[in-house]
Structure 1
């Protein structure tokens, strides 16, 4: 308990005053006059009490009280110190209080200095300071300050501070003496104290700050009205100093808090990569902020409706030495932390064991005694993601100021925890993705034994394959790989390319075509064969880097095709459609091409210069995207206008990109320009894939278009007539105008179109 004891200087002042009193009495007590009577009555208050009660009418006493009240109000309005108090020592006391204000005092400094001044002015033997807490209806005995200037408090027991509590609640001063029967029990706990004057200290808005209880020993005189007036006047004057001190404290605290939070934000957001690093750091900062002995962070497991601690009991020496804490996990709504997680409301508990909500089990598990608790939720927008719990403030109890500071801190904690959890998920997803890539790489790349097995076959005699009418159905998959490698070597040689790498790349390309009816490895090879033939027969139409891009794009243009078109991907909300909003499958085919090139031993472009490599990839992407028929129509329209107006020029980069797009479409549709037996067989395979998509659409509750409806096979001829006349024929006509060497493609499409027209006409007559 902080009890004021007069200093040696103040004792000397009192002795001088007592000496003055004794000398005055010896000199002037012989003649009875007003001064002597006043002195006698002051020294014998019981005589005055008995006389007034026996000889004065109650109405007259009431008149005196009213007059005194009015006089007192006038004095208070003037905020003046009574003349009786304004001796030299009082002036010195006020000057001391003024000096205190010049050093940016805390409110505790001002309250103590104010108590010292009042004690000297009213000849009190000491005082006890009680501080009020905004958060509850309790008083806290002021025990002094710690090294950081924070108050050390202890909770005042109600039965031992009934007088200060009465003053705090009524905002009225009270004077008592030991012989006052109503409070005899109160004095029993204060054996050497005979007289008490207890007054409240308030802010201008009426908010209670403190209660001061002045006391005198039994040998002293009882406190009088004048003492109460003096004390009250000092309190009014000291209120100005107190107001300044509180402002100064708040400014300093806010500055320190802001500096602290800035340091915290810098620090914790650097460690957002890992919960294991972040949580202990948050807890250590939280401990420092509110001077707690222990700290814990409980995260919410929304699936299990539980709280769990990744790091518990920060501050425990064993934990700091690296020993693991017990596994702490409990249901929402259990204990203080569980209730805070459930309600989202902060809890500040002064005595944990007296609170029925407190969960004793954790103390039993840890062997630690919990006294006070400050528990606050962590939010992610409106949802609670965790709870931070501070345990046992080192000096006193968690205050409302601690709550406010901790509330600001909790905002940053919530952000850090939320983003760290997201980062953890991303990191785990990334690791899963890497594992998936490793598995995929193993299963989707060729084995080295396949490469070695194929090398000797490349020395075999090859059939004539630079022919638009080449029938790929006549050969197996391994043959097509050999043909593809041979076509590449024939076009570009091996001076800047590695044969083993080329074989490996081609085998992996084959492996990454899915086993669907039409868009499979056989189709990829067939398109590449048409492109090879076109490049061979058109000699110098395209530049070397363009030829390289066109051939690789043709070979890879349908990698990982699922047998479904772009519309189906969008309608079924495929993940691919979420990634690529336009040309969905075409973007995926290109990305698969790049992924294969990035595999070890697969980069066939490794000997190209950086600029050549960059240009090749750019052209490959353009060529693969050009196989989307949605891009074909605007591309053909622009090119047709250029041809008709004779504005097309091979020297224009834009014009060359357009013709590359048309060449890609022509190669992709080359099944329509094959001899009739090949064309007829191809159409049956194409429709099998169409029907598979139609079945999937019907299963999803959608009605497939007639061309994809297995129940309408008579639509095949009509659909082919529309396809050849509306897309294939215009494509090959445009191509023929710019590259006449492609006339065999145009002629065969026209032939096949006529055949389909006859079939369609015959079906209509049936």
Structure 2
């Protein structure tokens, strides 16, 4: 009987497939219907074996072959374990049953060659099957069949031979990266409850074993995997509970870690805090767990309390009593111990409550699969961490190119990422001072990054020891800066008792620039998980220090470039606006008669600031130098002095207040204080020389805007000098430029020591006119003056006195007669209002009240507060040095009362022609 090709064949089976008689074959063709029984078809298939085999090879798939092998018992435990190692972690088929999925890990090499290699898992399985040459399959009726020692050795050799099949191919690594990038969770088989598993365990042992193996096959999370293993293991051997400990850390500092603490495990434990994600850590080599991990031997105890390594401390805490105990190692493909499993208290209703040899064999078989699952999970975790680390390093590189204008911002970003990735409590970075040597290391800047709950801050955390000599941390930094070595310390004794804060671990490395020169030191302290820094941390931190060095080098180069451009811009502005005074302008001062100081009232503290013309102010300046004896004492050439003063006048801009007249008026007050208030007897001639010159130079090239405006507008001056005393630094540098010009150096005949000293005094005098310096120093000055504990023989006190005298002269308009104070107030107000207009139009910001034209009605009250809180306290303190300063106090008090009266009236600049008298020059 033959089947015609033109027919359409359908096989219809009733509910009982095993009864051949109940099955029928219905064929429908063009010539009619022919009814065939299943026996007829079977008979035909038996008679045509070649055609049957060809049809099977053409139509059968891999799952059908594997199912046939299982149903006919062609798989032994050894082959099952060995072939199971080739399962890929990414396979998940929803079209097959659990048994088919588990059986799908096996294939016959000869038959598999007819199938296309559609995925990497099948390819690995087929390759391995061919390498085994089909001689590994043996009949096994039950999974609990006993194997002899030679079978066990064969299995281990087979597992070692399969090592090359356990490595993920490049394609799988790419898939893994995609999974990590997209945060896709690998599908897992839902876990049954313990009761359902126990019921299946005793009803169908084979099905139960296949399901618990398949359950852990696709789980790559160590904590979830641990939970499944301990539940499955306790059900498998009918025990009350189980524990699983993973071996972590380098060989020199290995620990046993339990992701989930179940019941007693027979050793001392380190109880974790809630932030440690409930991990239990057991020291290496201690207790029953540690002994098994170290020796690899199985421990089966009928009475756990009799074992020398047993410890009942957890039993006491939990109120639990451990009687029987089975502890076994878990190995990877290289026969290395990677974990230890422990089950306790066998069910007393079975085997007398004792773990039998059969239990050991079942547990050992299952732990083979657990070793594969844990290896896959560890491999996945390592790949994920490596991916995150590489991603973080790329982000650091991005930060370096994104931010190069601020050293603080670059270092903050890099250290934040280092701290986040290395999971440390504190990070610090110290930059070496330029020009230092290896014998005496000095750090110019320190960045200390703590990680409080509110976020990262570049400041010292109060709970931490400061980076100073007493903390021991600075010694480590200096040592690394000198030697370039890497320090990885655990519990460093030098820092144990500092500030009551325990430093458990410390990693310190040098930072180098592009020339491989050490420019700083980076320190990280205390891993948040309580462990020491390992080799991986060292490698990663080394990469961060490398990037940090590049970032610092690039930022410093960018800063130098900006400064060079700013310096060029400022120089061009100065040259285009100023220059030296021509000789024809100087000539008229050489032979002319100079009036006496008495004729122009130069010694009076009530001098009229507007009584002299521009040329007369140069004559008056010459008179002050002559009467103070500076010309004769320091052999100043008269022509050089005239040239110097004329050039000074030319280098003051035509702005309402901070001009040449203001500079002369400040110098006149200094002259009056020296001659009228007896300060000449306290100060040396060199100090007087430097301070009088400083008064004349203290506002050179003033632009009519203050320091705050330079910073807000990002001017070239702010880029060149920074935000601290911006204009004052510019005034000093401008004075140095004039003194360096040919024919202008009035200090040229001084000795080298005197020249260095007077230049230092000049710089200090000019910088002292910044009110921020006054606010920093006046507390000390008021203290030792009010308590009369001052001694002018001490240089530090003399320096403070010189600063206070410069401020007193700069603010002296508040002590002058009312008509002078009123006119000065008008000039100051006009200049401040012009700055306020610029802030509104150019910077689009709201200016302060004293610079806002719309708030001019508030100026009398502001001026009253200014004199009362800033000026009067200074002049009153000077009275205690010399009573003749009382004249300035009285003048300031009279002006304060005038402003108080105006503040109660309807104030208008146009009506009263007054304004803010002498607002802060900050």
Give me the TM-score of the superposition, normalised by structure 2. Answer: 0.36
Structure ID, larger Rg: 1
| Structure with more of its chain in helix, by fraction | 1
Structure showing greater relative contact order (alpha-carbon pairs closer than 8 Å, 6 or more residues apart): 1
Give me the TM-score of the superposition, normalised by structure 1. Answer: 0.43
